[in-house]
Amino acid sequence: MIFYIVRRVLYSIPIALSVGLVCFLLVYISPGDPISAIAPPDAPAEMITQLRRDYGLDKPLPEQFAIWLGRVVQGDLGRSLSTGRPVWGEVSVALKNTVSLAVAACTLAFAIGTLLGGLAAAFRDTWVDRIAMTFAVAGVSVPHYWLGMLLVAVFAVTFPLAPSMGAGPGGTFVWDWAHLPFLILPMVTLSAIPLGLVARTVRGTVIEILHQEFITTLRGKGLRSGGILLHVAKNAAPSVLAVMGLQLGYLMGGSILVETVFSWPGTGFLLNSAIFQRDIPLLQGTILVLALLFVALNLVVDLGQALLDPRIKR
């Protein structure tokens, strides 16, 4: 097992490096000159050259990458072009908000999705199944931002039950009673897609497991529903875990629209402003951190699967 962990961790290193390279190259493949964002429009040519030298943009590409990588490893993601503050600080604050939201949404999606999927599988081809799957399909197909706006219209405007803007007092989210109401609407919105996917995965996996012969053995041993459920759950766990992990990853980076709708001060919101302000260092840093987080999450999922399923080669 220890060898498997070490090997799997080592496999992640080249992936992380490639991610870094892509992020680094972002500057060069994105349209527009970064210098034009900080230099005044009528700046003389000498000033631009000076700026290029200051930012190290005149060196050959591999050298720039090595320098950049060296700084990144030390936690230095550069400074934001628009605010002048270190990128790492901006990203880490936003990341905390996003992770809080993503984890909350995922927990909700997992709980309800598993319930819906499990019920659908147990009562396959009945009205229970049909209703549960209608929910699941709706969750996957309804556009995020539209659902968000709908919830805002209903629960914040028509029936003012929950706040619809920001993360609460202080502008950043903290796990306490004062901030929790702010979490509700974005969390529900964000959970729609993973909820649908989890419900469908759980349904498919459980139906497949229920068709396996060992279920007949378990019934033949006289186990009651509860005992059989335990076996089904342990068999289904690796597949569900994989879907969950992937979804959590997507939620961390893929919530630009929802965070914008709810003005949630997370990475999506940050990315949005970075793009519009052409703040390349900020964009680069945010994407890099998110991508690395995604790689790490995949690693955790893989290790978790190996732990849950003894058949996965160690």
Partner 1 sequence: MTDPLPAPLAESPLQPLPDVGGPAQALLSVSGLTKTFAGRGKLFGGRAGAVQAVSAVSFDVRKGETLGIVGESGCGKSTASKLIMGLLEPTAGEIVFDGEALGRDAAGLRRYRRQVQMVFQDSFSSLNPRLTIEESIAFPPMVHGMARKAAIGIARDMLAAVGLQPAQYATRFPHELSGGQRQRVNIARALALRPRLVVLDEPVSALDKSVEAQVLNLLMDLKAEFGLTYIFISHDLNVVQYISDRVLVMYLGRVVELGAAEAIFAGAAHPYTSALLASRPSVAGRSREAPPLVGDPPSPVNPPSGCAFHPRCVFSEAVCATTRPALLPVAVPDRQAEHLAACLINQPGSGHSRAPKAA
Partner 2 sequence: MSALQSQSQPLVKVRDLNVAFVSKEATLHAVNGVDFDLAPKETLCILGESGSGKSVTLRSLMRLHPPRRTRITGTIQVDGTDIVAASERELSSIRGRLVSMIFQEPMTALDPVFTIGKQITETIRRHEGVSHQEAQRRALDLLELVQIPSARQRLDAYPHELSGGLRQRAMIAVALSVRPKLLLADEPTTALDATVQIQVLLLLKRIQAELGMGVIFVTHDLGVAGEIADRIAVMYAGRFIEEAPAEALLEAPEHPYVEGLLGATVTPASRGRRLTAIPGSPPNLRTLPVGCAFAPRCTSAEPNCRAAVPDLRALAPDRTVRCIHPAGLRPSMPPAMAFAAEERAP
Binding site for partner 1 (CB under 8 A): 3, 6-7, 10, 313
Residue 217 binding: pick among partner 1, partner 2, none (C-beta 5-8 Å cut-off by kind): partner 2
Residue 80 binding: pick among partner 1, partner 2, none (C-beta 5-8 Å cut-off by kind): none
CB of 310 to partner 2, least distance (A): 4
CB of 4 to partner 1, least distance (A): 9
Give the list of residues 6+ apart from residue 88 with CB closer than 8 angstroms, or none. Answer: 75, 76, 77, 285
CB of 3 to partner 1, least distance (A): 5
Nearer Cβ to partner 2 (10/224): 224
CB of 222 to partner 2, least distance (A): 3
Q: Site residues (CB under 8 A) for partner 2?
A: 212-214, 216-224, 227, 231, 234-235, 308-311
Residue 308 binding: pick among partner 1, partner 2, none (C-beta 5-8 Å cut-off by kind): partner 2
Q: What are the C-alpha distances in Å from 305 to residues 22, 84, 234, 291, 302?
A: 29, 43, 11, 21, 5
Residue 31 binding: pick among partner 2, partner 1, none (C-beta 5-8 Å cut-off by kind): none
Residue 313 binding: pick among partner 1, partner 2, none (C-beta 5-8 Å cut-off by kind): partner 1
Q: What are the φ and ψ backbone dihedral angles of 86, each rounded to 5 degrees? A: -60, 140
Torsion from C-alpha of 264, 267, 273, 279, nearest 10 degrees: 160
Q: Which of 30, 41, 190 is nearest to 104 (CA)?
A: 190
- Are 232 and 224 in contact by the 8 Å Cβ rule? The answer is no
Calpha distance 299→314 (Å, rounded): 14
